[in-house]
Amino acid sequence: MPSAGLSDSAAAPLASLALYEQVADRLRQRILARELEPGSWIDELKLCGELGISRTPLREALKVLAAEGLVTMKLRRGAYVTEMSERDVREAYQLLSLLESDAASRVAALASDVELAELATLHEALETALPDRDAFFAANEQFHLRILEIEGNRWRQQMVNDLRRLMKLNRHHSLFREGRLAESLGEHRALMQALLARDADATARLMRTHFENGLAATAQAR
């Protein structure tokens, strides 16, 4: 009589699942760190050798990354790291603007005093980050994502996280343009003031302007 637990054959896929998820995580890190550049071909045999795995978990991992948009599968040509086109960047900015301006407006209206004070602390990290671009990137993302966490719509958070992950593939990030870091900080100052004043309309408007200026800076950086 079979036991109540999983049989060996039924349990086997769990090991494969864990492996390809680990491989996907490793490749995701390499892509976002630009060790694998946007537009570059992914050499499956080389990666299998480096990671000490067969092609099956690698290909499953590539499917995961393709679903996330980080990898593009081309018929009879293999997998490539996704390269953001001008249209991709424009459309991502438009969606982020809609999603984040609405979230920020709700936070201005509904957040507790403690939550607003936390955002003010995160904003201070932006103030002290300059001129370190990497530190500014990290503080900027933390501030924006905390607004989403406070607002609390998990579907919105998932969509924004996916879009922000894709935006890291953009070769011409808005903050690469000379002078944009200081401009972005000024926009954040105004946004923080509107949040602390609990002015929902101004907060939404300033967040939209922030993304519009970011898109314009990206175009200029190309």
Asked if 191 and 207 touch (Cβ cutoff 8 Å), the reply is yes
pLDDT tens for 130-176 read 889 889 999 999 999 999 999 999 999 999 999 999 998 887 677 77
To the nearest whole percent, how much of the chain has pLDDT over 70? 91
The per-residue pLDDT for 170 is 85
Q: Taking the domain 86-221, which CATH number applies?
A: 1.20.120.530
**Which architecture characterizes domain 8-81 according to CATH?**
Orthogonal Bundle (1.10)
Domains in the chain: boundaries: 8-81, 86-221
The per-residue pLDDT for 172 is 63
The per-residue pLDDT for 53 is 94
Strand 71-74 to 78-81 pairing: antiparallel
Q: Which residues pair with 73 in a beta bridge?
A: 79
Rounded distance between C-alpha atoms, residue 188 and residue 206, angstroms: 9
Q: Which residues of the chain have pLDDT under 50?
A: 1-12, 14, 16
The per-residue pLDDT for 177 is 78
The per-residue pLDDT for 14 is 46
Greatest CA separation found in the chain? 72
8-81 shares its CATH topology with 86-221: no
The per-residue pLDDT for 212 is 96
Q: Which residues pair with 41 in a beta bridge?
A: 80
Rounded distance between C-alpha atoms, residue 206 and residue 190, angstroms: 7
The per-residue pLDDT for 222 is 65
